[in-house]
């Protein structure tokens, strides 16, 4: 029988595009640090009949009948999330990371109160108070910055700012920060100024669960994570919090912000937590960091300038404009032609606009999910250097792309089976 037979009959155009994406994900070296390969089990749960069911409310307290199975599924997901993070309460319904942050703010802040997160050009997320985002419009944003010398968090400077602006909430956890976060420092600062400590661990959840980065819990009062990054789950998010915030968080999600939860995602989140409990996941998380360090070392030998000088986690942020004479945008285009996916990114203390920033951001969750190790990272570093130094040489980029595809053949992607394309 052919692959995706129902789609072949109903909508072959979409089927072909899905298969095209499968091939692209198989044949490229994906270094976007917020992406991953969900397992077949996660994909099965995400693509199940649970998509048919409306479940507004929470297990045991729904506005619709027929919740015999969805109540059990959501309860399992909640219990696994609570256990994984050692927190009192979990809400697994947020549609994604941004609404999860919004729900936390709605639970603990009033309009106009002060939110203190890392400014976006230094690695914070849009939803941490950036001016064009709801978080910078509804609330008063007083962002902190990285230290200009070390390009790392400066806890004394953050503390000083917190004393001045007296935030209602301090957000720690980032989109483009390559270093270990010292959560206990944020706890001290929040205790001193009477702020809620919110940890957004979207990027590093997998590392935390696998023991490769310290956990912010139970020090943080509230936390969110997306489920589709290093956790390797479906596209979604969840909130965890201390008991005192539980009711406000649940109300903020439903009825405050959302209607029916996406049950298929809830089930897949539960599956992702089960997978993360396995010993292999610990090895996976450790290897993500080893790979990032190996790739960083190789890039340094090629004279790329890495923000903060290196990495402690899954992510590398590098400046290309001055160190390599090519903008982040042009570098990412050249890399894509060479079969390597990265994303252009702003660099701390550089005024280049987000649409044409001075560097790129890369990470190792995807390549580690394929079983690649330090030896492959060295090769990738060499290819990256070649691609950005020959960015206008279409032949060189095409040759690298061929070599990348050859390497990719030996490293299967979870959730994708090339036999299907035969």
56, 88, 113, 336: which is the annotated catalytic residue? 56
**C-beta of 228: minimal distance to ligand PLP in Å?**
7
Identify whether 54 is a catalytic site residue.
yes
Q: Which residue is nearest to ligand PLP (CB)?
A: 97
Q: Which of 114, 175, 205, 226 is catalytic?
A: 226
Output the smallest distance, CB 236 to ligand PLP, in A. Answer: 8
- Residue 93 CA to chain centroid, in angstroms? 17
56 a catalytic residue: yes
Half-sphere exposure of 39 (CA within 13 A, CB side): 18
- Smallest distance, ligand PLP to C-beta of residue 97, A: 2
341/354 Cα distance (integer angstroms): 18
State the Cα torsion 24-25-31-33 to the nearest 10°.
130
In the bound state with ligand PLP, the residue whose beta carbon lies nearer, of 20 and 259, is 259
Q: Which of 149, 142, 211, 201 is nearest to 177 (CA)?
A: 201
Smaller CB separation from ligand PLP, 104 or 335: 104
Residue 216 or 381: the one with the smaller Cβ distance to ligand PLP is 216
- Chain centroid to CA 248: how far? 25
**Helix (H/G/I), strand (E/B), else coil: 190:** helix
- Minimum separation from the CB atom of position 59 to ligand PLP (A): 24
* Shortest Cβ 33–ligand PLP spacing (Å): 9
Enumerate binding residues for ligand PLP (CB under 6 A).
34, 96-98, 101, 125, 127, 173-175, 200, 202-203, 226, 237
CB nearer to ligand PLP: give 272 or 326.
Answer: 272
Least Cβ distance, residue 352 to ligand PLP (angstroms): 20
200 labelled catalytic: yes
235 is catalytic: yes
Active site annotation includes 177: no
Whether the CB-CB separation of 142 and 165 falls below 8 Å is answered with: yes
Write the CA distances from 66 to 62, 114, 263, 264, 266, integer angstroms. 9, 42, 13, 15, 16
Pairwise CA distance, residues 169 & 114, whole Å:
7
The nearest distance, CB 257 to ligand PLP, in angstroms, is: 13
Cis, peptide link before residue 255, omega less than 30° from 0: yes
- Count of C-beta atoms within a 10 Å radius of residue 420: 11
> Which residue shows structure tokens 């979870």?
414
Distance CA 210, CA 282 (A): 4
Q: Which is nearer to ligand PLP, 203 or 242 (CB)?
A: 203
| Active-site option among 25, 200, 221, 330 | 200
How far apart CA 278 and CA 68 sit, in angstroms, is 28
Nearer to ligand PLP, 121 or 173 (CB): 173
The SS3 call for residue 394 is helix
Count of Cβ atoms closer than 10 Å to residue 255 Cβ: 12
- Catalytic residue, chosen from 54, 155, 393, 403, is 54
Q: Alpha-carbon distance 184 to 284, whole Å?
A: 26
Nearer to ligand PLP, 91 or 175 (CB): 175
**Catalytic positions:** 54, 56, 200, 226, 229, 235
């Amino acid at each position: 029988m052919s692959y995706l037979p129902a789609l072949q009959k109903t909508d072959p155009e979409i089927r072909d595009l899905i298969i095209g994406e499968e091939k692209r994900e198989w044949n490229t070296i994906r270094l976007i640090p917020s992406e991953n390969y969900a397992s077949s089990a996660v994909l099965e749960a995400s693509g199940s009949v649970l998509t048919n069911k409306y479940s507004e409310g929470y297990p045991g307290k729904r506005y619709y009948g027929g919740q015999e199975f969805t109540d059990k599924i959501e309860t399992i997901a909640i219990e696994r999330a609570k256990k994984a993070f050692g927190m009192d309460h979990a809400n697994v319904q947020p549609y994604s990371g941004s609404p999860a942050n919004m729900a936390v703010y709605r639970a603990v802040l009033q309009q106009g109160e002060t939110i203190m997160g890392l400014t976006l050009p230094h690695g914070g997320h849009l939803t941490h108070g950036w001016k064009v985002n709801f978080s910078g419009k509804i609330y008063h944003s007083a962002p902190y910055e990285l230290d200009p010398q070390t390009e790392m968090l400066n806890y004394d400077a953050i503390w000083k700012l917190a004393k001045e602006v007296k935030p209602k909430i301090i957000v720690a956890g980032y989109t483009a920060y390559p270093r270990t976060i010292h959560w206990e420092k944020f706890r001290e600062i929040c205790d001193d100024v009477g702020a809620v400590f919110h940890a957004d661990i979207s990027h590093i959840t997998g590392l935390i669960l696998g023991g490769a980065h310290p956990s912010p819990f139970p020090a943080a009062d509230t936390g969110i994570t997306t489920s589709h990054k290093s956790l390797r789950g479906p596209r979604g998010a969840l909130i965890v919090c201390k008991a005192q915030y539980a009711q406000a968080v649940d109300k903020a999600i439903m009825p405050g912000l959302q209607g029916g939860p996406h049950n298929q995602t809830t089930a897949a989140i539960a599956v992702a937590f089960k997978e993360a409990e396995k010993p292999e996941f610990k090895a996976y998380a450790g290897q993500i960091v080893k790979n990032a360090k190996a790739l960083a070392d190789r890039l340094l030998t090629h004279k790329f300038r890495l923000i903060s000088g290196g990495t402690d986690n899954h992510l590398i942020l590098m400046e290309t404009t001055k160190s390599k004479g090519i903008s982040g945008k042009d570098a990412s285009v050249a890399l894509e032609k060479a079969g390597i996916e990265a994303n252009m990114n702003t660099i701390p203390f550089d005024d280049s606009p987000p649409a044409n920033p001075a560097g790129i951001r890369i990470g190792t969750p995807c390549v580690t999910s394929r079983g690649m190790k330090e030896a492959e990272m060295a090769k990738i570093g060499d290819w990256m250097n070649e691609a950005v130094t020959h960015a206008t040489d279409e032949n060189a980029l095409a040759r690298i792309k061929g070599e990348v595809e050859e390497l990719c053949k030996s490293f299967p992607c979870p959730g994708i089976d090339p036999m299907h394309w035969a």
